[in-house]
Amino acid sequence: MDPKPLSWRCGPLAAFALAGALFAPPLNAQVVVTPLSPAAPAAAAAPAEPEPPPIPFPERIIILENGITGRPLSLRSANPRHYEDIVRKQPMPSVTLHAKLFVPPGSSKAPAVIIAPGSGGVNPWMLVHARALTDSGIAVLLMDPFGGREIRDTITAQTQFSFAASTWDVFAAVLALERQSDIDATRLGALGYSRGGLSVLHAAMRPLADAALGPGRALRAVVAGWPWCGLQFADPQTAPTAIRLALADSDNWVSPLQCQAYFNAMRPRNPVVTQRLFKDASHGFGYGTPLREIPRATHALNAPVIHFDPRGVPLDPWSGDAMPGADDRALEAMMRPFIGRGVLAGTQGSQMQDFIRDTVGFFITYLKL
């Protein structure tokens, strides 16, 4: 018998087992953040029972706490081997991904933000972010990058599909939103976390966006939350997209220093690139999950940054020579001496509320005002 669709009502108490501005213009918007409720008392231990298989994302009925139900949407994405495939417009194996579109009522054409999950995939805290955005009149497209690829997560193995494919997913979401009659295709943004943070950053890179969307077309605004910045374009052209980096100063999964270096490379070419370094923050500080260790997670904190030229070709970190055709597995092999396991992730104090306030204010400024 087929399982019944799951109604997933997600608020600030949803559980998830995995997972001031610097140089910033004023965010001229008021953002209301629902405070976290007190934790419920622990339930008495019950006999262990086998867990039922999870409901596939496309079959879930997801309702935000403000009553907005997610509309199912299919995305025709692809699996490029590397950024070169995108820039050169090479044939790429297609893949169908699934998403939920949350549209606030009362607007004939709403601006929209694409949410690109990180290595753990979709989690309930993203729905808390979606509620804050939809409360502010901004639609949200939450996509699942893993289910269509039959992947559970990339926490222990990032090369199950390429980082270029993660960026292509963002472009696929843009094209899908442009076909929705209740979405304003001229006011689209993207919010990504960790691996998803890199994917939305690179969706703003002109060589990739020009090839995927057409010359001059661009996301209007991008927020990269605790992104991995180990892959960078050597000459990062991101204008006219407004970009916000939300970094954790104590992150031991990805390096905030690499991201600050990327910021310094982007900023002279694009005056609307800004960053905020959150104090005493760890990876995933914008979720509501308490701090915890994730022993199986892989990291490469001290690895050299791998740069790409405008053709999407990686450059050898030691010699600077171009390495055409090198895919993510080849790059990972080069970085193997720097790869370790075990990270700390989660939030403390008001970090989650501060992240939501900063993020929603940014999108109101660049998508609504």
Q: Which structure tokens are listed for 80?
A: 């490029």
Residue 53, pLDDT score = 72
Residue 206, pLDDT score = 97
Q: Which structure tokens are listed for 22?
A: 């610097």
Residue 2, pLDDT score = 33
Residue 13, pLDDT score = 33
Question: Exposed, middle or buried: residue 16 (CB in 10 Å: 0-12, 13-18, 19+)?
Answer: middle
In b/e form, how buried is each residue of 104-124, taking b as 16+ CB within 10 angstroms?
beeeeebbbbbbbbbbbbbbb
In b/e form, how buried is each residue of 294-325, taking b as 16+ CB within 10 angstroms?
beebbbbbebebbbbbbebbbbeeeeeeebee
| CA distances for 92 relative to 99, 171, 173, 231, angstroms | 21, 14, 17, 21
C-alpha 333, offset from chain centre: 25
Specify whether the CB–CB gap between 295 and 263 falls below 8 A: no
User: Residue 341 in 3-state DSSP?
Assistant: strand
Taking only Cα atoms into account, the Rg of the chain, rounded to an integer number of angstroms, comes to 19
Estimate the crossing angle of helix 163-177 against helix 195-203, to 10 degrees. Answer: 60
Q: Which residue bears the tokens 């939030």?
A: 347
N-term to C-term CA, the chain? 50
**Would you say how long the chain is, in residues?**
369
Q: Average pLDDT by consecutive 10-residue portion of the chain (369 residues)?
A: 40 33 35 41 52 81 95 96 97 96 91 94 94 97 92 80 94 97 97 97 98 96 97 97 98 97 98 98 96 92 95 97 96 93 96 98 92
Torsion, Cα 146 152 158 160, to 10 degrees, reads -70
Evaluated on CA atoms 274, 353, 227, 238, the torsion sign reads negative
Q: Name the pairing type of β-strands 242-248 and 221-225.
A: parallel
DSSP H or E segment with residue 308: strand 306-308
Q: Which residue bears the tokens 């923050």?
A: 281
DSSP-assigned letters across all residues of 202-224: HHT-HHHHHHHH-TT---SEEEE
Residue 1, pLDDT score = 35
Q: Name the pairing type of β-strands 110-116 and 183-193.
A: parallel
Q: What is the pTM of this model?
A: 0.88
> Which overall architecture, per CATH, does domain 57-368 show?
3-Layer(aba) Sandwich (3.40)
DSSP 8-state class, residue 265: H
Name 44's Cβ contacts closer than 8 Å, sequence gap at least 6.
none
